[in-house]
Structure 1
Amino acid sequence: MNRITAPAKWLCVVYWFLVVVPTRADDVKGVVKNIPTPAHRNVMVQLFNWKFKEIEQVLPKLKQLGYSHVHVSPPQKSNEKVWQWWGRYQPIDFSVISGPLGSEDDFKKMNEAADSNGVNIVVDIVLSHTSDVTEMPEPDFVTFNNDVIVSEKFPQFDPGDFHRRCNINDGDVNSVRTCWLSNALADLKTESPHVRGIAKDYLKKLVGLGVDGFRFDAAKHIEPDFFGEVLHDVPNAYAFGEVIASDSGSFPQIDALDFYDFPLVATMRRAFGFGGDLRDLKNAVQNHHALPGPKAVTFVRNHDIDRGEAGDRGLDDNSLDTFGVGWNRQSHTLDRTDVILAYAYIFGREDGLPYVFADMPTLPPNEQDDHFDNEQLAAFIRFHNLCLSGENGVDRRPDIYRIETANAIGWQRGTDRFVVINKAAETFPIRNLVTSLRPGKYAEVHHGWDMDVQSDGKIKEWDVPGRSAMMVVPKP
């Protein structure tokens, strides 16, 4: 595989993600009428544990809202003794698409519908391990001699395809890659040609069914060279990985993968938390508190944060904080305003591929915290997509900071877009703010409030309500 330099890769990755959208205007709840429809889309949504038929039904709506990609849960045959979501992360047979989420036919129809709507499907891939030996599909599915598997009933594997059972020592790279998650998930020898061959066949099968990309679960528990090799035969597929760490310097160097930006999540939690300083968000990449834009899938919540409970989900220095942005460690109550403000930040900034989490539809309504069609998110998505420009939407308007306080930050996107986030309870007054915005009238995309930029580029007077985020574009 040819090595791609960072700038060239940025162009290639962004080009792959951007999907041309018809220019007709659609009414979207949460977006002021007459705000232009973007020419491109560049937003991923995780429809966590949704059935393939359910995803197929919402694809037209996702397109209308401005999503370009859908992250779907693992489709391979899995441990169906475990009906809960984590059973899908316990593979049994990679040659079969079947299980609680739907059949192979359902999966194929979902992909066909996605193609017809100009939406790309990204599949969750679990290749570091198979099933949990403490909740096997049937008795004696796996047997041991001491800590070594001596017999098993996985259709594609032999006992020699598994590492010896052992607890992970996070300080030992070899242990991280060869021991068992939770000392229970049967760890595959992903270094072996046989296991890699099965992985390649699985990815090719998925692409043959219409899949456009992959999210690799537990990526840090697999050898870095694995990804380039198994992705070689699916060269047009996008891929990103899960590495849960708060320090950007601890991420493996894998050219074939982008990554969830967990360091940025940790930074946002500190910044948006009580007593935190929003100025920490300005130079997050330079301060190693966020991944570089070309490698970052930027998010506020995903299923690791929403459902994670173990210490290894930790996002602070002491690995005690298991919940990410918007959670209080004492009460575990989710503060939706903090979550929305953090979403405003990732949609308002130049770097990264924004990613939205949507909860399981099987949850009771009062437990469904996250919705892909939240009206404020719809406005943020519209703003983000309107910031894409140039041929195929590759060009990005740069961030130019104009407001820098502990509780309020504001920045231009180029010369005709503006973002302000105010986490304080009090109104933030803007008076005679110097900018390089083009003079004229602007409109806030969610409420429609007017903002005037004078001939000298100043914003003479504009008030930002407490606990809110404002995104403005030229008024049509």
Structure 2
Amino acid sequence: MTGNWGTVWGTGGSVGYSNIKSYPAVPYDASHFNSDCQIQDYNNPYQVRNCELVGLRDLNQGLEHVRGKIVDFMNHLINLGVAGFRVDASKHMWPGDLEIIFNRLNNLNTNHGFAGGSRPFIFQEVIDLGGEAISHREYLHLGRITEFRFSAEIGRVFRGYDRLTYLSNWGEGWGFMASGSALVFVDNHDNQRGHGAGGANILTYKQSKQYKMATAFALAHALAHPYGSTRVMSSFAFTDSEIGPPQDGNQNIISPGINPDETCTNGWVCEHRWRQIYNMVGFRNAVRGTGLNDWWSNGNQQIAFCRGGRGFVAFTNGGTISQTMQTCLPSGTYCDVISGNLINGQCTGKSVTVGANGLGHVQLADNEADGVLAIHINARV
């Protein structure tokens, strides 16, 4: 719940009294919470799960009243059309309690277009970099797990602290959890601010070129042999890591404005609206169900690969690529979806002409704004 900040107000107008653990709008009272102890030892699973994390009032989900209120809330959201849930701080909850709660959730609401019998998509925040008593493995049967090592390592590589060529076995080959269990991201709301796992290796919108490259790699590498279920970040600008979203003088959140190029204003970054990122979502959809093949590397900071016969992508983190490569695509002219779009049968950015043998000349200069080139079957002129 909240921290111990005295009287607190919810955005809907409810009031709580955190000093006495009273939240009458739910209702919860002191009997529904664990003790006031603070976590001192992360090698003590009882302390991690039964004491307060950074002073936050700790609900006891072993109690039926608490479980019932959580289940009612989540099922209300499912009825409204919610498709899934991120469960914050899951390692601070007992897996057995979460299992009981999740098993009581309704199927998704078919009135919102979901197929009958569809279950909510669950992913759980479990920060597990090794060396603690609680492991992500305790939560694998409940849903996907946030793989923070993906975030830390992809940032380290695209910052130039390691070679792109070593990404040839990216994923489980790097010691990450099984692909089917992982929820992956370049950054999230915590570690983009230096909170949580990953430290200084984490890439954010502030390192825009490398950030777009890392996001493009994550999306190009998603599904099939590629690794994990990918989450794309969308955030607001910040200088103070504790600051909230853009607000007016009365602390009302300001909505983003939209530029002619579809990016955001009013202090919103909206990474999901960057052309290089939303077009890579299109790439990911175009290559869905294919494997990763025809890997190429210069042995250092340049790589390229195909996704079946439906997509091709190249990266440089040092030096210019200018050579004929196997794109695996049918013959034709394709728009590079990083430097532009396919509009009215023409490319607004670069293009690649592919011959009958799948070969095409790839030009990607070291000094270009983006270190990625991507073409796919749905971007053919």
Please, what TM-score do these two structures have when normalized by structure 2? 0.73
Alignment correspondent of 2:259: none
Alignment of 1:29-108 (within 5 A): none
- Counterpart CA distance in 2 for 1:376 and 1:189 is 44
Percent identical across equivalent pairs?
23
Report how far residue 342 of structure 1 moved: 0.9
1:251 to 104, 114, 136: 136
* Aligned residue-pair number: 315
Report how far residue 242 of structure 1 moved: 1.4
Relative to structure 1, the CA distance from residue 422 to residue 323 in structure 2 (aligned partners, 3 Å threshold; closer, same or farther) is closer
**Residue 163 of structure 1 pairs with residue 56 of structure 2:** no
Please, what TM-score do these two structures have when normalized by structure 1? 0.60
- Counterpart CA distance in 2 for 1:366 and 1:198 is 37
Does the CA contact (< 8 Å) of 2:6 and 2:17 recur in 1? no
Alignment correspondent of 1:451: 352
Alignment correspondent of 1:47: none
Does the CA contact (< 8 Å) of 1:397 and 1:413 recur in 2? yes
Alignment correspondent of 1:174: 46
Report how far residue 134 of structure 1 moved: 3.9
- Counterpart CA distance in 2 for 1:280 and 1:231 is 39
The one-letter code sitting in structure 1 at the alignment partner of 2:217 is Y
Report how far residue 165 of structure 1 moved: 2.1
Relative to structure 1, the CA distance from residue 247 to residue 452 in structure 2 (aligned partners, 3 Å threshold; closer, same or farther) is farther
Does the CA contact (< 8 Å) of 2:90 and 2:125 recur in 1? yes
RMSD: 2.9
Does the CA contact (< 8 Å) of 2:3 and 2:18 recur in 1? no
Relative to structure 1, the CA distance from residue 254 to residue 190 in structure 2 (aligned partners, 3 Å threshold; closer, same or farther) is farther
1:264 to 139, 150, 161: 150
Report how far residue 445 of structure 1 moved: 2.1
**Residue 224 of structure 1 pairs with residue 115 of structure 2:** no
Alignment correspondent of 1:92: none
- Counterpart CA distance in 1 for 2:375 and 2:192 is 31
Q: 1:414-440: CA deviations, max 9, x gaps?
A: 12310111122x312234x35654454
- Counterpart CA distance in 2 for 1:299 and 1:223 is 25
**Unaligned runs of at least 5 residues, structure 1:** 1-129, 144-150, 316-320, 328-333, 389-395
- Counterpart CA distance in 1 for 2:106 and 2:16 is 36
Relative to structure 1, the CA distance from residue 277 to residue 167 in structure 2 (aligned partners, 3 Å threshold; closer, same or farther) is farther
Alignment of 1:191-202 (within 5 A): 191-202=62-73
Alignment correspondent of 1:297: 183
The one-letter code sitting in structure 2 at the alignment partner of 1:362 is P
Relative to structure 1, the CA distance from residue 412 to residue 458 in structure 2 (aligned partners, 3 Å threshold; closer, same or farther) is same
* SS of corresponding position for 1:272: helix
**Residue 413 of structure 1 pairs with residue 307 of structure 2:** yes
* SS of corresponding position for 1:132: coil
Relative to structure 1, the CA distance from residue 217 to residue 379 in structure 2 (aligned partners, 3 Å threshold; closer, same or farther) is same
**Residue 355 of structure 1 pairs with residue 231 of structure 2:** yes
Report how far residue 279 of structure 1 moved: 2.9
Does the CA contact (< 8 Å) of 2:312 and 2:327 recur in 1? no
Report how far residue 323 of structure 1 moved: 6.7
Alignment correspondent of 2:203: 325
- Of the two structures, which has the highest relative contact order with CA contacts closer than 8 Å and spacing of 6 or more? 1
The one-letter code sitting in structure 1 at the alignment partner of 2:96 is D
* SS of corresponding position for 2:232: strand
Q: 1:334-387: CA deviations, max 9, x gaps?
A: 211111111101111133333222224626958544433112212212211212
**Residue 239 of structure 1 pairs with residue 112 of structure 2:** no
Higher share in strand: 1
